[in-house]
Amino acid sequence: MSAQRLADLDLAHLPIETAEFAADPNPWLEQARAKHPWLASSNIGPVLTSYRAIDEIMRMDDALKMPGGEIVSIMGAEGTGWGDFAKEMMLVREGPDHQRLRGSVSAAFGPNNVKRMRPVMVETISALLEEWAPKGSFDFAEFAANFPVRVMFALIGGDVSKLPEIIASLEVQGTSFNMIVEDMPKIEEAYQVLWRFVDDLIEERGPDAGKGDLLDDLIASNTRGDLTDKELRQMLVFLFGAGYDTSKNLLTLLMNTMIDHPNIWRRCAEDKDFCRQVVREQLRLTSPSNTYRVTTREVTWGGVTIPANTMLLFPLGISGRDPAMFADPLTFDPNRPDRTAPLAFGRGMHICLGQFLAQANVEEGTHLIAQRLRNPRHSAPAQWRSFAGVWGIKSLPIAFDPAPARAPEPA
């Protein structure tokens, strides 16, 4: 049987740019799957709605590229600092160039190094809870924003007095690939704040600081000629952004889920190992990142031929809701017997560099937050970010019963 052409398909349209879709994509997703088993349309391009299609097509590194230049063109960002970043950062590089840049930081974000950082995570979230838990109510998204960036400060170094400005800029930067054209002026302004911040970090550190942290490693790569001056600064902006967005949004999504599962939340406070299962299940049900690829050649999969130069949207954040892969997919079940891996961090050579750091952050954070914030409940409706790009909850007002800190657990 010959493959159908993409242009000949009658696909359901997903209004991914609307607030209604961002808050609850399920009704549209179900309609789309009823019309076609793995494809839908959107204003950006075709959307893959099947776990298996996302998993297998994202691995086709020889047929896909990250759409840096295309997004810059859509955003009208040619000639800006952010535009250069979007076209030149590690995520859009290919081949040896990509391997060179990824190799400069991959060890720092590997499982062994992240394991060594867990005490820093525990210390950081404990200090934040001492400040925030007595309040009895706050916007959890605002609270969560402080956690991963403080961990990144510990990993790379930085003056904590600059945290408010950096957090605000990272929040704007996180929306930069949602392709909201009218946001471009504030995206460029936020990028310039981050650029000046990392530039100051590098200048203050100098070439011979000897701290042995990630910043020293990157400066050494620059000194050897493995990274240019511009690549060094772009890499630091990228790492701060990636380290911030994934952890902060995942933790906020998990809290939103836990409000409806009080028994699971209480167990998280007592059982640290159980928190790993809870985080994994959250990554399956709802995770923060959706991503794009552009086909560099004709691709045929599942009886459909997609032409070259097609912008594809991979909705990783809801890929685990596919009923063809997961029984009762909308039910949150940390004891789910199916161990199919979540696609939250992507596939292929551009798989998320910070996935181990993000999971560890949220595992450690969940265990300690559950001890201090008992009986969490909504105090106002959640507000969602745009679905395309970095998804998630931008505001999650909660109330809770504060609890005192427990004695430190054995290492």
Q: What are phi and psi of 236, to 5 degrees?
A: -65, -40
CB 65 within 8 A of CB 91: no
Domains and their CATH numbers in the chain: 4-402 (1.10.630.10)
How long is the chain? Answer: 411
pTM, rounded to two decimals: 0.90
Buried b / exposed e over 81-111, threshold 16 CB at 10 Å, is bbbbbbbbbbbbbeeeebeebbebbeebbee
By C-alpha distance, which of 246, 283, 261, 271 is closest to 367?
271
Q: Do 26 and 326 contact (CB within 8 A), yes or no?
A: no
pLDDT tens digit sequence for 262-288: 999 999 999 999 999 999 999 999 998
The amino acid at 350: H
Distance of CA 393 to the CA centre of its chain: 12
Summarised one tens digit per residue, pLDDT across range 359-406 is: 999 999 999 999 999 999 999 999 999 998 789 999 999 999 999 998
Number of Cβ within 10 Å of residue 360's Cβ equals 21
Amino acid letter at 333? D
Per-residue model confidence as pLDDT tens for the chain (411 residues): 689 999 999 999 999 999 999 999 999 999 999 999 999 999 999 999 999 999 999 999 999 998 888 889 989 999 999 999 989 988 888 888 888 888 887 777 788 888 888 998 999 999 999 999 999 999 999 999 988 888 887 777 666 778 888 888 988 887 777 778 899 999 999 999 999 999 998 998 887 666 677 788 888 888 888 889 999 999 888 888 877 778 899 999 999 999 999 999 999 999 999 999 999 999 999 998 899 999 999 999 999 999 999 999 999 999 999 999 999 999 999 999 887 889 998 888 888 877 888 899 999 999 999 999 999 999 999 999 999 878 999 999 999 999 999 877 766
User: Which stretches of 211-344 are DSSP H helices?
Assistant: 214-224, 229-258, 262-270, 272-285
